[in-house]
């Protein structure tokens, strides 16, 4: 039997992102889960990534918690990822069967003294200059060096190469299709 996106088992956090997007795209309405797992009750920054045919379709998140728990953070960011990522048009109902979801729950960012304290496979990075900040999740395909991570973050935040920056690192717990 051929595997389809619908037949893959999702972790409850990824399932919540999927259910949220499907409900919102079909009806404009989102209902909170009836029961929260222990992970959903915590507070943390969360990124929700959506892919279609293996290609990024949307990714929005928060690096510090803004909602009262991870479940609400996932729901907010899932809707934003599907409808407000400026790189893509909003998700439409016909796409839903072809989408896959992952949820990254972030640890609290910690300042680092030097790029030597970073590792692109283990740590995500935040680059900050004044009020401008750029963030990149860890362990992304095609991002193999700390320099690439920092350059991408600078570009996202509009920080020029010669501007001084503060660096922060964080780790993630990534939940997706089993």
* Three-state secondary-structure class, residue 119: coil
The answer to whether position 52 is within a domain reads: yes
Say which CATH number the domain at 44 has: 3.30.700.20
Last residue of a domain, one of 53, 85, 106: 106
pLDDT for residue 177: 63
Last residue of a domain, one of 79, 106, 133: 106
**Among 88, 110, 68, 81, CA closest to 20:** 81
Say which CATH number the domain at 118 has: 3.30.1490.150
14 and 102: one domain?
yes
Number of domains in the chain: 2
Residue 6, pLDDT above cutoff 50: no
The answer to whether position 2 is within a domain reads: no
The answer to whether position 176 is within a domain reads: no
As a whole number, mean pLDDT of residues 104-117 equals 95
pTM, to two decimals:
0.86
What tens digit of pLDDT does each residue of 138-154 get? Answer: 999 899 999 999 999 99
What tens digit of pLDDT does each residue of 121-137 get? Answer: 999 999 999 999 999 99
- Domain containing 90 equals 9-106
pLDDT for residue 8: 56
Residue with tokens 């072809």: 98
161 and 82: one domain?
no
Last residue of a domain, one of 106, 140, 162: 106
pLDDT for residue 176: 85
Query: Is 13 in contact with 39 (CB distance < 8 Å)?
Result: yes
What tens digit of pLDDT does each residue of 58-90 get? Answer: 999 998 999 999 999 999 999 999 999 999 999
* Three-state secondary-structure class, residue 63: coil
CA atoms of 74 and 113, how far apart (whole Å): 31
What tens digit of pLDDT does each residue of 13-65 get? Answer: 999 999 999 999 999 999 999 999 999 999 999 999 999 998 999 999 998 99
Quickly state the pLDDT bin for 162 (edges 50, 70, 90).
very high
| DSSP strands (E only) in 40-159 | 46-52, 55-62, 99-106, 110-112, 124-129, 132-136
20 and 80: one domain?
yes
CA atoms of 8 and 55, how far apart (whole Å): 18
Query: Is 91 in contact with 58 (CB distance < 8 Å)?
Result: yes
56 and 141: one domain?
no
């Amino acid at each position: 039997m051929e595997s389809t996106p619908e037949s893959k088992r999702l972790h409850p956090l990824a399932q919540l992102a999927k259910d949220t997007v499907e409900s919102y795209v079909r009806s404009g309405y989102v209902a909170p889960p009836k029961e929260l797992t222990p992970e959903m009750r915590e507070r943390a920054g969360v990124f929700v990534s959506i892919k279609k045919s293996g290609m990024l379709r949307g990714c929005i998140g928060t690096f510090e918690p803004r909602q009262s728990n991870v479940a609400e953070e996932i729901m907010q960011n899932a809707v934003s990822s599907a409808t407000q990522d400026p790189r893509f048009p909003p998700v439409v109902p016909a796409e839903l069967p072809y989408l896959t979801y992952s949820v990254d729950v972030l640890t609290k960012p910690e300042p680092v003294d030097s790029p030597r304290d970073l590792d692109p496979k283990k740590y995500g990075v935040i680059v900050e200059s004044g009020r401008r900040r750029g963030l990149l999740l860890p362990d992304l395909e095609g991002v193999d060096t700390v320099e690439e991570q920092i350059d991408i973050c600078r570009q996202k935040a509009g920080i020029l190469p010669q501007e001084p920056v503060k660096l922060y690192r964080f780790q993630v717990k990534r939940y997706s299709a089993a």
